[in-house]
Amino acid sequence: MHSFGYRLNALLTFAVTILALMCAIASLSDNFNTPSPSAEIQITNINWFQKQPQGNDEVSLTMNISADLQSLFTWNTKQVFIFVAAEYETPKNSLNQVSLWDAIIPAKEHAKFWIHTSNKYRFVDQGNNLRGKEFNLTLHWHVMPKTGKMFADKIVMTGYSLPEEYR
Amino acid sequence: MDWQGQKLAEQIMQIMLLGFAMIAFVAGYVLGSFQMMILLYAGGVTLTTLITVPNWRFFNRHPLNWLDPSEAEKYPKPQVAVSSKKKAIKK
């Protein structure tokens, strides 16, 4: 600790190293959080269901999405990214996932919500397999931290189906 | 700063930084505020810098007594004796 510059350098290096340690421990503390989220999606209306000129099926639907994701937030959470995906099986693909809607929840206060919306992104199939198709709607979330590890999970809701004929 | 002062400065720096880190983390965790942790820690780092980095007088309580230049001139440095070495080798 021989000179002003030496001491300043030693102090700053040590301070930054300790800061990195604090952020690592903060991220580890997220593992103590046991979240208990809930969600429900109702399809209120199938707006239209057509076959595109290229041959792919497309459907437009309106949903009520309600969820309580407040327990996902910790002191180390910056935001939660959520999206709703329709999942179904076709002869060509064992799993198709089509993202219909997404949102960013910036704070715990906004994590308990209800929204009535049509699908933000187009629900288009690879082919024309959607008539009478049964599908799941899954709400995925990514808990983005201020520092450290990101946690992701989902709720699968089953029992949705599309009409037999185009409208 | 003298030798004792350097050691003291280093000890104070390490203890203060670790202490502030622990206080800041616990405060942030309990309050549920990441920003509070960062602010407390930044304050702690600034305070530690102000205490340990500048050359304060209390770091110089055991000053080193350098020999006065006028004293040093009275006792000249010894000269290297080249001739006596050659005699010893010849024997």
| Contact: B25, A76; criterion CB under 8 Å | no
Rounded Cα distance, A152 and A82, in Å: 10
Task: Pick from B29, B34, B36 the residue to mutate for testing the A interface (most A CBs within 10 Å).
Answer: B34
pTM of the predicted protein model: 0.80
Residue A61 near residue A84, CB atoms below 8 Å: no
Residue extents of the structural domains in chain B: 3-58
Residue A104 CA to residue A64 CA, distance in Å, equals 17
User: Can you state the angle between helices B3-31 and B34-52, rounded to 10 degrees?
Assistant: 170
Give B5-56 pLDDT, tens digit per residue.
Answer: 888 899 999 999 999 999 999 999 999 889 999 999 999 999 999 999 888 8
Total residues belonging to chain A? 167
Where does the pLDDT of residue B91 fall: very low under 50, low under 70, confident under 90, or very high at 90 and above?
A: low
Inspect the interface and report whether the beta carbons of A4 and B18 lie closer than 8 Å: no
pLDDT in tens, A62-117: 999 999 999 999 999 999 999 999 999 999 899 999 999 999 999 999 999 999 99
**pLDDT value at B85 more than 70:** no
With CB atoms and an 8 Å threshold, state whether A11 touches B13: yes
Secondary structure of residue B39 in the 3-state scheme? helix
- Could you please report the per-residue DSSP string of A77-90? EEEEEEEEEEEE--
